[in-house]
Amino acid sequence: MAADNRHQNEEILAVRRADGESRTLAASLPRLVLEARRVAANVIHGLHGRRRAGSGENFWQYRRFVSGEPSQRVDWRRSARDDHLYVREQEWEAAHTVWIWPDRSPSMAFASRDARDSKLERGLIVAFALAELLVAGGERVGIPGLMNPTASLNVIDKMAEAILHDETTRASLPPSFVPSSLAEVVVLSDFWSSLAEITAMLGGLSSSGAHGTMIQVVDPAEETFPYSGRVEFVEPEAGSAITAGRAESWASDYVARVALHREQIRAETNRLDWLFSTHTTSRSAAELLLFLHAGMMVSKGGGRSTVKAGRSA
């Protein structure tokens, strides 16, 4: 009984701490930026060698000249070093815009004892790291309603500064806008919004033909509902509260309702050829970053449906 009460108190304190944590985001941003750079560097190292040659501005490699190619393709300076002719190949680039939306609403500040980060922290770490990875690959990255697309190498600093000075109260879902048909959209949120709101958002973002990925970032406690006894549940955004006399009796209904909500979201994303997956904050940020990168590479290759029903780690 004492253990149950201690666990319940920890969870209640975590919920009540959520609003305060959101106000101290400025203090935690430097740490999140450093963690994002570390995660991005590890993933970039793991992806080394996956680029390919083609038309672009960056040097890729030298290769032997093949008989029948136009002579103007020969790099005469390199060829002068030995008895062979060489062609200077450029790295393949297909720069386009990727819009990244990290949910910063109050519900994202929740963190249970089994989480590595709060949902807010994890969403920002992955958003920053993904931006760095994309810019390194020649893409432009923006935040809807907050930061114009940029290919700057210090994109993480630009994103962090834009978020730090953002005085607007942001909703869970991105603001209404129409991305270009070639754009990609990534939404990192807990998606505890109503299905009607989520459907409206998807309809607006996909109306131009843009594609995207929706990642539901959840705390381990939101997955398993590990509560028992008398528990007060507080809704951090509306400020409402409800008390369960025997919380354990709610578990099966809760899990079923969450599964239904996800299936409804997945049905809509499948219909629009978007990706939908979930990520629990007890797992590593690098796993989610790899999943997002793989999904974007499949999208470029026209095989998006092969990972559509996937679940991120």
Residues 277 and 211 in one domain: yes
- Distance, in Å, from the CA atom of 232 to the CA atom of 252, rounded to the nearest integer, reads 18
> Does 20 fall in a domain?
yes
Least confident of 20-24, 72-76, 237-241, 281-285: 20-24
**pLDDT tens digits, 136-157:** 888 999 999 999 999 999 999 9
| Contact by Cβ (8 Å): 32, 121 | yes
> Does 69 fall in a domain?
yes
Cα 103 from chain centroid (whole Å): 10
Contacts of range 85-89, beta carbons closer than 8 Å, 24 or more positions apart = 86/62, 87/62, 87/63, 88/59, 88/62, 89/53, 89/59, 89/60, 89/61, 89/62, 89/63
| Contact by Cβ (8 Å): 217, 188 | yes
Could you tell me the CA-to-CA distances from 238 to 12, 193, 219, 233 in Å, in that order? 16, 12, 19, 12
pLDDT over 90 (residue 161): yes
Among all chains, which residue has been given the structure tokens 């690959």?
A: 137
Instruction: Read off the pLDDT of each residue in 272-291 and give the average, rounded to a whole number.
Output: 95
Could you tell me the CA-to-CA distances from 166 to 24, 173, 183, 246 in Å, in that order? 14, 16, 24, 41
Residues 208 and 270 in one domain: yes
Domain that holds residue 169: 2-50+93-307
Q: Name the more confident of 18 and 246.
A: 246
Using DSSP's 3-state secondary structure scheme, residue 226 falls into coil
Instruction: Read off the pLDDT of each residue in 282-300 and give the average, rounded to a whole number.
Output: 85
C-alpha closest to that of 33 among 121, 165, 151: 121
> Does 205 fall in a domain?
yes
Residues 217 and 235 in one domain: yes
> Does 312 fall in a domain?
no
> Does 283 fall in a domain?
yes
Among all chains, which residue has been given the structure tokens 């780690």?
A: 313
Cβ neighbors of 87 (< 8 A, separation 6 or more) are 62, 63, 64, 65, 66, 69, 73, 74, 75
pLDDT over 60 (residue 80): yes
Residues 13 and 79 in one domain: no
pLDDT reported for residue 22: 46
- Distance, in Å, from the CA atom of 22 to the CA atom of 108, rounded to the nearest integer, reads 9
| Contact by Cβ (8 Å): 261, 195 | yes
Residues 139 and 233 in one domain: yes
Instruction: Read off the pLDDT of each residue in 225-238 and give the average, rounded to a whole number.
Output: 87
pLDDT reported for residue 272: 95
In which band, very low, low, confident or very high, does the pLDDT at 215 lie, cut at 50, 70 and 90? very high
Q: What is the number of structural domains in the chain? A: 2
pLDDT over 60 (residue 229): yes
Alpha helices in 47-154 (DSSP H): 76-79, 119-136
Q: Which of 68, 90, 112 is the last residue of a domain?
A: 90
| pTM of the model as a whole | 0.76
| Contact by Cβ (8 Å): 285, 263 | no
The sign one gets for the Cα dihedral 33, 37, 38, 40 is positive
Residues 79 and 216 in one domain: no
> Does 170 fall in a domain?
yes
Residues 157 and 296 in one domain: yes
Residues 37 and 98 in one domain: yes
> Does 313 fall in a domain?
no
pLDDT reported for residue 133: 93
> Does 113 fall in a domain?
yes
Burial class of 261 by CB neighbour count within 10 A (0 to 12, 13 to 18, 19+): middle
pLDDT over 90 (residue 281): yes
pLDDT over 80 (residue 311): no
Residues 191 and 254 in one domain: yes
pLDDT over 90 (residue 201): yes
Q: Name the more confident of 206 and 167.
A: 206
pLDDT reported for residue 106: 92
Residues 145 and 75 in one domain: no
Residues 139 and 221 in one domain: yes
Beta strands 97-102; 184-189: pairing state: parallel
Instruction: Read off the pLDDT of each residue in 50-60 and give the average, rounded to a whole number.
Output: 49
Residues 84 and 188 in one domain: no
